[in-house]
Amino acid sequence: MTMGRAGPTLVPVTIGRSTGDPPMRRTLLAAALLACPLSLGMAPAFAASTALTTTAERTGFRQTGRYDEVIALCDAFQQAYPQAVRCFDFGTTPAGRPMKAMAVSTSGALDAKTAQAQGLPVVLAQGGIHAGEIDGKDAGFWLARDLLQGKVGRGVLDKAVLLFVPVFNADGHENFRAWNRPNQRGPEQMGHRVTAQRYNLNRDYVKADSPEMQAMLGLVNQWDPLAMLDLHVTDGAKFRHDISITGEPTNSGDAGLREAGNALKDGIIARLAAQGSLPVGFYPSFVEDDDPASGFVHGVSTPRFSNGYFPLRNRLAILVETHSWRTYPERVRSTYNTVLNALELVAANGTRWLQLARDADARAARLGGQSVPLDYRTTDAVRTIDFLGYEYTRTPSDISGTSMTRYDERKPQVWKIPLRDQIVPGNAIVAPKGGYLVPPEHAVAVARHLLVHGIDFRVLASPLRDAGAQAFVADGAQFSPASVEGHQRTSLTGGWTTQPAQVGPGGLYVPIAQAKARLLVNILEPTAGDSMAAWGDFNNAFERKEYMEAYVAEDEARTMLARDPALKAEFERKLREEPGFANSPGARLDFFYRRHPAWDHGTNRYPVWRTDTAH
């Protein structure tokens, strides 16, 4: 079937760091695994056709190819277009698969240094972060061929570089079967959502646990893409809209860079509509699961997600979500159009948008002493929108015991439903004027985190004393009862107070005066939602390690009351005014223990200082 704009007719330096084994053992293990591809579940070797077509195209988009096709096609494109394509590995998965990327440009800028020297904008198109949502892989190869053959986007590759990662989650891609995506129409078989280590890569951007993400961030640090397209397929209800385009900075991040963020997002949406799509500019997930009448709430993603992460680097991020109930050929075509539209917009506006990004970098380096939002919230302001759906019923279910929704795709219907999309800053902090100080006992863990994101710091060669440093002591630490991505997440409340700091040799000074200051704040501020502290990296600091026996506390409390009338008055006031305190023997004894010389003052103390002094 033919869809949209011109194009073929559809027919019926490992940069990241690995963790775990010593380097030699990892190398030997990877070599052994690659020597036995059947142990990895790989399909037989793929022979690239001279037409550079995919399995998807050759089967009328009923099927998608295996990962060996990605490897072969990447090499075949470079062989066919050696002056315009460079195929390279940017990492290795835990199961030993090469992570492939293609740099595509007719400008001669096929490496990061040349692209930067020529001032060319780079567009990173990332497919298969969730390997069952594989539209981006087949759309990207198809589009690359059409661009190189001059069928679409004439001149675009002279003015921009397409950095194409066909499959980010290569191990998940080869966990290949039908029903990996039960809420999706086609292809017949597909990969799986998580990696071989069961990481969800689109929850891993800022914490960067997985070797795959470490490799991806190494690629990003090297190429510094102006714009990143994260190519997904959404789950959800049955409706007629075929694609969602959201992105930042449009409501978050650097205010000056929002000009480019909004222009890119709105430009893609307008072009898709002209090409016959029915795009929406918010993520279409109901407020109440499975109930269309509850409507939608638009928001800003946290930095664990791609479109929350890149704005903290002062770069553009577009989240592309084709609709899972559209057929595979339809979804691939709309993804093809989206990437082409983004390339054309970036090529046309690259000079202006690159300058906006550089200006945002300069403003970020002056962020010290300014208010920085840690998150964003959607206000209660509601507007009613027309949303293209189908007739549906909500009836009691004898299976689930609750109401269920049935959609009738034979009967289009316009839903008039609420949308909340007015977004404002939420919790905020004032950034330190100097930066952060990390003691040597935590320096390795923090340095590893900063290095993978390309954040600058200095290792102290001699002791550093800072009389005006600030320490954070939590007055509340709530540990998650369930594991999330292998972490026990922690929610902290408390505040910073001035306390002298002494950091020994081997500690770190991390200046706020750098382009990635927003990202730094989101990593090291303990109350930020995706900080190291929030992901449980410092949980030891918020566990009580010492205690006072109750019978000892009873005697010590009486001594303290007799010696300190003010303490006695405070205790009696709490008994009168706070029933929860009065009725809790533990809280009453803890009142005295916390004021006793035996109290461990290291309890609930965040092990990173802030400073307003540049060191």
Query: What does the pLDDT look like over 111-151, one tens digit per residue?
Result: 999 999 999 999 999 999 999 999 999 999 999 999 999 99
The per-residue pLDDT for 152 is 98
Angstrom distance (rounded) from CA 438 to CA 608: 5
Q: For 176-203, what is the mean pLDDT?
A: 97
Q: For 13-27, what is the mean pLDDT?
A: 35
Which pLDDT tens digit goes with each residue over 424-447? 999 999 999 999 999 999 999 999
- pLDDT above 60 for 172: yes
The residues pairing with 417 across neighbouring beta strands, listed in sequence order, are 385
Rounded to 5°, the CA angle 180-185-187 comes to 65
State the DSSP string of 65-77. --HHHHHHHHHHH
- pLDDT above 70 for 2: no
The answer, yes or no, to whether the previous bond of 607 is cis (omega within 30 of 0) is: no
Name the pLDDT band for 235 (thresholds 50, 70, 90): confident
Which pLDDT tens digit goes with each residue over 464-480? 999 999 999 999 999 99
| Percent of the chain predicted with pLDDT > 70 | 92
- pLDDT above 90 for 63: yes
Angstrom distance (rounded) from CA 461 to CA 457: 13
- pLDDT above 70 for 1: no
Report whether 212 contacts 299 (CB < 8 A): no
Name the pLDDT band for 43 (thresholds 50, 70, 90): very low
Q: Which helix (H) or strand (E) holds 396?
A: strand 383-396
The per-residue pLDDT for 117 is 97
Q: For 283-288, what is the mean pLDDT?
A: 94
Which pLDDT tens digit goes with each residue over 543-584? 988 889 999 999 999 999 999 999 999 999 999 999 999 999
Which pLDDT tens digit goes with each residue over 91-122? 999 999 999 999 999 999 999 999 999 999 99
- pLDDT above 80 for 10: no
- pLDDT above 70 for 49: no
- pLDDT above 90 for 13: no
The per-residue pLDDT for 585 is 95
Report whether 296 contacts 419 (CB < 8 A): yes
Count how many Cα atoms sit within 13 Å of the Cα of residue 5 in the half-sphere of its side chain.
Answer: 19
The per-residue pLDDT for 6 is 37
Tokens 């689930």, located at residue? 400
- pLDDT above 70 for 18: no
The per-residue pLDDT for 17 is 35
The per-residue pLDDT for 51 is 76
Which pLDDT tens digit goes with each residue over 390-402? 999 999 999 999 9
Name the pLDDT band for 322 (thresholds 50, 70, 90): very high
Tokens 């509509």, located at residue? 273
CB burial readout 284-318, b (16+ within 10 A) else e: bebeeeeebeebbbbbbbbbbbbbbbbbbbbbbbb
The per-residue pLDDT for 44 is 34
Residue 534 CB partners (closer than 8 Å, separation 6+)? 489, 490, 491, 492, 526, 527, 528
Query: Beta strands 428-430 and 376-378: pairing type?
Result: unpaired
Mean pLDDT of the chain: 92
- pLDDT above 70 for 40: no
Using the 8-state DSSP alphabet, how is residue 342 labeled?
Answer: H
- pLDDT above 80 for 295: yes
Instruction: Supply the pTM of this predicted model.
Output: 0.89
Helix (H, G, I), strand (E, B), or coil: what is residue 62? coil
- pLDDT above 50 for 344: yes
| Percent of the chain predicted with pLDDT > 90 | 89
- pLDDT above 70 for 36: no
